[in-house]
Structure 1
């Protein structure tokens, strides 16, 4: 029997591609660390090149909304753990004094303004426009990593980075009530007076409170189990990778089971861990593992995004799509951010960084897929095109300017 050489098995081909993506995720962040470019840009370019080489898998499409939801969900909760572990003194007002303004002022203003822009520019139906506002409201904790505060064990020096990290960690969970608002509008109609009270009590107050309580309880219980019950010799033998996954999955799963917002719980649980400064060396190793895991999935998602943009390049040539994306990036978020920071002691440069770098990304894709899987929205394809295009422009505009702004931050933004 002759040996079969150079036969192509699809499964083995995907294994090869998965390995190549993992290699890219390991190498790219190191190689470009001092370049004026960020990893997602490289991944998008890679995806475009793969499409041109006829390697194209249409993963980002309406028929794959369930798979998109699950993959992006995992990436976001991993990144929320990272964000929480980075925040030193997470339960002090000093940490939150600027981020709170972004959460209670910038976020609602962004939702309303984005919804109006989606209706006026893109012609979205009311419920679809509201969904657009909701999915565009959170600052992405994955893409905002360029402007996140220092890693565990290192001193915080920059107000803007601490503010953006705290905002990105909190508002990814707080976008859920507004996504439910859009889902309810699509399901029950836009007679808001008939169901707005029920939505506010159940989906805003109760589920948010359960998320906070679940995060505090799970974070405290996991910490006590690992660091208080275990002996010093046992702790050194515990796998940081397994512990990191436990810190991510236990709060999320437990809180979701009892009806709360798991995104909030994951971030709060990680904050509980970071609050114990005497275990900084352990927090750093937990963060490092999660960051490596996050990098692999980010590489995959943006390579596929590059394929999607290359195969649907006419999206970027659509004047309405381009206009809405640029309005969101250059007007709505910056203005909403600047207004919320009025009267603070931040300098004009610090206000600009915090306001402008509210980057949109994987969290927006997750919320969009979640909403599509839970309600029948009009303008689904239009919504998808606008969200993907906006993320594409955000990655490019914020990504190419990030390194330059980083240098400015080091000179002008010390946390004194």
Structure 2
């Protein structure tokens, strides 16, 4: 399809979803599901106006685009979580990102080995690709902003931010087992020391310290110069530096991006408390970004670093959310174009097993003893949306020497799982969240 027609198509889709955003948000279909269906209609399975395959240079660009969207999305997710470090919401997120994730991976490994006859390493790679939840496509069930302390949304946001720390090491282990000819014990030992212990600890440490330190210095420099110009470059710089440094020392870049967002948020909390102590405001514990006025930026002269950090966080959130949505829409459109010719029955069965059995059971087991109501545990079990993370891991595996089964079979299964998740969760998320809100309102009124 000619380039100009692509401009027309994408512009029309963006305009349509913008004009109808209110109805889409209240309706049973998400904007991502619409983009997926449009892509499927344009692709070779229906109209045949454009073709796209996960091979050659396409895999490289898929990896780059999905990785960029994930890094920015994880940073924004961490920035939105204003919970104290000791808040129970973090403990719930860890339950979902570690034990629930490991159980989910184990379930998919068993299905791939028994049902598909795959070797262990290939089954482990597939499980690592389709098990993590997605921080981008789960926008309707994640926290809306820093004031959102809804327990369900906090748990799902925290899980999406942390579970790459479990999934990526398992994918790396699978690829190492495929390529190693000697003693697997040596592979596992090196993997556990480097990719698990150091990878997780280094990623969290470098990310948090980098986000906190660079955010603190940047905010104070902007305050010292009374700078009120857009500060999105500061946020971009923090993400790029932290992610690159972490990758250079072989730690988890995704965890670092998430931790950098959390670190910058702790700077906001610290400076806001200092500002309130110096000059009390009748704003309660409102985040700094809600206290600044975008329309008065040019006339503002920050009297406290707390006001400067408000601009920094506000600009970071605005840029990050726009960037991640644009790439996410493009990739979902690409999935729609590519999925119809490669969709597989095996992928549909794995998607059904993952969403209806493996994920819900894993979450239920991992949350035993948490004190969380059963209704919330059931919803968390269902809201395990797959998306850009799975695409990123698929591309990473294809460029890193995946063996064991045909690449086309793997691509078909992963794209089928992602497309099924986008449709199934897109259709159910609004009705289920509305039902939950009505139940919560009724409970409050009965007190």
Encode CA deviations 1:230-286: one digit per residue, 9 max, x unaligned.
22663421x243233223322112211222211111100101112223233432442
Question: Equivalent residues in 2 for 1:3-402 (5 A)?
Answer: 10-17=2-9, 19-20=11-12, 23=15, 26-27=18-19, 29-51=21-43, 52-61=46-55, 64-152=58-146, 154-156=147-149, 158-189=150-181, 191-231=183-223, 234-237=226-229, 239-275=230-266, 276-277=268-269, 278=272, 279-281=288-290, 282=310, 283-312=313-342, 315-316=343-344, 318=345, 320-379=346-405, 380-402=407-429
Q: TM-score, normalised by structure 1?
A: 0.89
Shift of 1:43: 0.4
Partners of 1:125 and 1:27 lie apart in 2 by 49
Encode CA deviations 1:174-202: one digit per residue, 9 max, x unaligned.
32211110111111158532321111001
Change (3 A) 1:112 1:189: farther
| Structure 2 stretches lacking a partner, 5+ long | 273-287, 291-309
Aligned residues of 1:36 and 1:400 also touching (Cα < 8 A):
yes
Partners of 2:77 and 2:353 lie apart in 1 by 28
Aligned residues of 2:36 and 2:333 also touching (Cα < 8 A):
yes
Shift of 1:16: 4.6
Encode CA deviations 1:71-119: one digit per residue, 9 max, x unaligned.
1101111111121111112522423121121123101111111111112
Aligned residues of 1:252 and 1:262 also touching (Cα < 8 A):
yes
Structural RMSD (CA): 2.4
Partners of 1:387 and 1:323 lie apart in 2 by 12
Shift of 1:164: 0.5
Change (3 A) 1:21 1:411: closer
Secondary structure of residue in 1 paired with 2:144: coil
Paired positions, count: 401
Secondary structure of residue in 2 paired with 1:358: coil
Aligned residues of 1:350 and 1:413 also touching (Cα < 8 A):
no
| Structure 1 stretches lacking a partner, 5+ long | 1-7
Encode CA deviations 1:111-130: one digit per residue, 9 max, x unaligned.
11111111222222221101
Pick which of 182-191 and 321-330 moved more: 182-191
| Structure showing greater relative contact order (alpha-carbon pairs closer than 8 Å, 6 or more residues apart) | 1
Change (3 A) 1:111 1:75: same
Encode CA deviations 1:40-94: one digit per residue, 9 max, x unaligned.
1100111123234432131434662211111110111111112111111252242
Aligned residues of 1:41 and 1:395 also touching (Cα < 8 A):
yes
